[in-house]
């Protein structure tokens, strides 16, 4: 497999960032990995690259609870700009929250592919990446 899946991680947890970065780097299908510590940084990046699909990620792993701009506010902004983005981006919420309110709220966001409770297992990650690749 070529290294061509571009991944964006939006999460303020340093330990999770470290872990998922190393797990993703070990995946042969993953190329570029772009980490952000809050939704505002990520949204600024996405808006700056809306016309440049090569710079945009194929998949976003999004945390819910973050400072500055949490995952829900990020999704609100993303949904406002999605029609201007020149690339299909798959979004997965990765959260340590097991609160049913978060599950239900996330389920109502059509652009979120799934809600995964941290930590993500390597086989889950492999499955997600193979689906994106196809």
Neighbours of 131 (CB within 10 A): 11
* DSSP code at position 86: S
Pair 37, 69: CB distance under 8 Å: no
Q: Return d(Cα 108, Cα 13) in angstroms, integer.
A: 25
Per-residue burial over 38-63, b if 16 or more Cβ lie within 10 Å, else e, is: bbbbbbebbeebbeeeeebbbbbbbb
3 falls in which pLDDT band (50, 70, 90)?
low
Q: 88 by DSSP, 3-state: which?
A: coil
pTM value is: 0.93
What is the predicted pLDDT for the residue at 94?
94
pLDDT band at residue 122 under the 50/70/90 scheme: confident
Tell me what percent of the residues of the chain surpass a pLDDT of 70. 97
Is 59 in contact with 7 (CB distance < 8 Å)?
A: yes
Domains in the chain: ranges and CATH: 6-133 (3.40.50.2300)
Q: Give 69's contacts (C-beta < 8 A, 6+ positions apart).
A: 38, 39, 40, 43, 77
C-alpha 119/C-alpha 127 separation (Å) is 15
């Amino acid at each position: 497999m070529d290294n061509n899946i571009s991944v964006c991680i939006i999460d303020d947890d340093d330990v999770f960032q470290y872990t998922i970065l190393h797990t993703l780097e070990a995946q042969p299908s993953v190329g570029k990995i772009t980490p952000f510590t809050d939704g505002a940084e990520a949204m600024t990046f996405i808006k700056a690259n809306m016309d440049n699909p090569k710079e945009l990620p194929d998949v976003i792993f999004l945390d819910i609870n973050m400072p500055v701009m949490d995952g829900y506010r990020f999704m609100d902004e993303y949904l406002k700009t999605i029609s201007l983005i020149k690339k299909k981006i798959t979004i997965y919420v990765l959260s340590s929250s097991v609160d049913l309110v978060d599950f239900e709220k996330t389920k109502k966001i059509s652009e979120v592919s799934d809600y995964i409770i941290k930590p993500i297992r390597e086989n889950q990650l492999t499955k997600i990446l193979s689906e994106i690749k196809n």
